[in-house]
Structure 1
Amino acid sequence: MQERQWITARRSELDALAEELAKQLQEVQAGRDELAVAERVLNRLAEQVRADAGAVAPVSVKVAGRAVLLIPHRSDAADEGVLPGDYRKILAIVREADGPVQVRAVGERLGLDASVRGKLEPLRAKMTKLADRGWLHKRGDGRFRARP
């Protein structure tokens, strides 16, 4: 009789272990799937960057089926000529200013309707991207200035 109890208890232990291992295997497979997607995106980016190497035009890549424009870091670029036209215009406006400028002022110079906040948000995103890449400096008060 004790052998049957031992077998039943052992079977229960093994069933619980099998269930836990199956759960871990699902997590591992999900992680591997995510890595495979990331690897494909990285390979696509690398291929497009290699294909566009030496080109003055900005690099455009596809991520998740959407075209994404790559704005290079200032240290990686020879000059601002590698930036798309609208980014070059923004940079020129900020450089012409006497001091730090607000997004609203740049928007007005570009002919945007500065009275509608939503019209300025894409511009703010572009200016922030330029700051993140080292082309501009974003101050704590939200104004931007050109880097020397």
Structure 2
Amino acid sequence: MAERAVLLIPHRGGAADEGGPPGDYREILAIVREADGPVQVRAACEWLVLDASVRGKLEPLRAKMTRLAAWGRLHMRGEVRFTARPWARGAGP
């Protein structure tokens, strides 16, 4: 029997929220957009009311912020600081 191809990632629709990142990523984006300057992972962790004293709690958040940078939603400055892209602040598409 021939195997069928399965679509793992759905196509983007016309609605604004369909193509957006999941809820926890939207929270991270909101924190970085509201900040006056670069946001460190530890500060974002504290803002999300996560335990920032344990390095193991920072790594999942750092991975999400790095993923947002890879998707072009954030700009990574060094290994621990992130800023919003200019268009992500409402200045462009």
Percent identity of the aligned residues?
71
Task: Give me the whole-angstrom Cα distance separating, in 2, the residues matched to 1:81 and 1:107.
Answer: 25
In 2: Cα distance, 1:82 partner to 1:132 partner: 14
Return the alpha-carbon distance in structure 2 between the equivalents of residues 80 and 131 of structure 1.
19
> 1: CA distance between counterparts of 2:21 and 2:13?
14
- Cα RMSD for the two superposed structures: 2.6
Report 1:71-86 matches (<5 A).
82-86=20-24
Gaps of 5+ in 1: 1-38, 57-77
Q: Normalized per residue, which structure has more helix?
A: 1
Match of residue 91 from structure 2: none
Taking structure 2 as the reference length, the TM-score comes to 0.76
- Could you tell me which amino acid in structure 2 is paired with residue 44 of structure 1? V
Deviant stretches of 4+, over 6 Å: none
Q: TM-score, normalised by structure 1?
A: 0.50
The number of equivalent residue pairs is 84
In our comparison, the structure showing a higher alpha carbon Rg is: 1
Residue of structure 2 equivalent to 1:45? 7
Matched letter for residue 54 of structure 1: G
Structure 2 stretches lacking a partner, 5+ long: 87-93
Instruction: Select the structure with the greater relative contact order (CA < 8 A; seq sep ≥ 6).
Output: 2
Matched, 1:119 2:57: yes
